[in-house]
Amino acid sequence: MMHFADSLTFSGRKVVAAWAALPFPALSGSSLHDALSAHQQDVPWKLLSSGGEQKVSSCFAQSVVLRGVCKERPTSCPGSPLHGCESPEQLLQQYFHTQFPGAFSTSHVLQQPCDTQPPFPQFFSPLLSRRGFLLDKAQGYSSAGVESIPVLAALQSSPVLHSLLRGLGRALRPRDLRRWSCFFTAGVEHDDFQEALEELRTLSQCYEMGSGAGGSEDEADSD
């Protein structure tokens, strides 16, 4: 995983964030083209890494895997940015090009869905079919009847990590190491701890969009 993350980071960045759509929101009987076209304004996956609700507005690099997408023929929409794509891989790449222009993106499409039979946690909505696709109305069986789901998972190097890393530094800065003997037992010196905090602050700045972004916040962090 560390080597994989390294392939998505550059310009001093070292961290990636995990995102997922579980299940991937697609209507029963629809195509991947239809599902992606329904999310032109906002990508359909959520942040898994710590940091609360975050929207994906831009990214530097990403790797995405989509599993279990339906194979039906796409709806003909000549005006759509996705029109003319013949394969699921081309559809995803064009979608990423539209959502994140200039970002480095790789995508992989696997036909096999994610198996959700027991002991997989059965927390699904009654608006899912047995294959994990969205229904117009609730199904007549329990959510335990969901046997598989389409899933999209992504690792991203994105500006979201600026606030996540800065928040981690803020949480650690007030710590008084003299009150935590385990730090000294582990061989952590006060100067080393302060140096690590400064490195964390510098790393968070690598994820800023624009040289002037977040300047006042970083100055507040150093006070």
Q: Which of 45, 31, 119, 41 is nearest to 75 (CA)?
A: 31
Q: Are 111 and 184 within one domain?
A: no
Q: Are 37 and 118 within one domain?
A: yes
211 within some domain: no
pLDDT at 190 over 90: no
The tally of CA atoms less than 13 A away on the side-chain side of residue 104 is 8
DSSP string, the chain: -HHHHHTT--TT----EEEEESS---BTT--HHHHHHTTSSS-S-EE-SSSSS------SEEEEEEES---PPPP--TTSTTTT--SHHHHHHHHHHHHSTT-EEEEEEESS-EE--TTS-----TTB-TTS-B-SS--SS-GGG--EE-EEEEEEE-THHHHHHHHHHHHHTT--GGG-HHHHHTT--HHHHHHHHHHHHHHHHTT-SSTTTTHHHHHHHH-
Q: Are 125 and 195 within one domain?
A: no
Bridge-based pairing state of the strands 61-67 and 104-110: parallel
Q: How confident is the model at residue 7 (pLDDT cuts 50, 70, 90)?
A: confident
Q: Are 139 and 167 within one domain?
A: no
Write out pLDDT tens, residues 149-181: 999 999 999 898 998 899 888 888 776 766 777
Number of domains within the chain: 2
Q: Are 93 and 10 within one domain?
A: yes
In whole numbers, what is the pLDDT of the chain averaged over residues?
Answer: 80
Write out pLDDT tens, residues 31-41: 888 888 888 87
Q: Are 201 and 127 within one domain?
A: no
Q: Are 54 and 80 within one domain?
A: yes
DSSP string, 97-117: HHHSTT-EEEEEEESS-EE--
Write out pLDDT tens, residues 67-96: 998 665 555 555 566 766 778 888 888 888
Q: Are 152 and 61 within one domain?
A: yes
Residues 103, 61: Cα–Cα separation, whole Å = 5
Residue 213 pLDDT: 38
Q: Are 134 and 198 within one domain?
A: no
Q: Are 185 and 153 within one domain?
A: no
Write out pLDDT tens, residues 111-150: 899 999 888 888 888 888 889 999 887 766 555 688 999 9
Q: Which of 170, 171, 163 is nearest to 208 (CA)?
A: 163
149 within some domain: yes
- Supply the range of the domain harboring residue 187: 162-206
pLDDT at 24 over 90: yes
Q: Are 84 and 49 within one domain?
A: yes
Q: Are 10 and 111 within one domain?
A: yes
212 within some domain: no
Write out pLDDT tens, residues 193-221: 889 899 999 999 999 876 333 444 444 44
Cα 204 to Cα 12, 157, 162, 192, 200: the distances in Å are 10, 12, 5, 18, 6
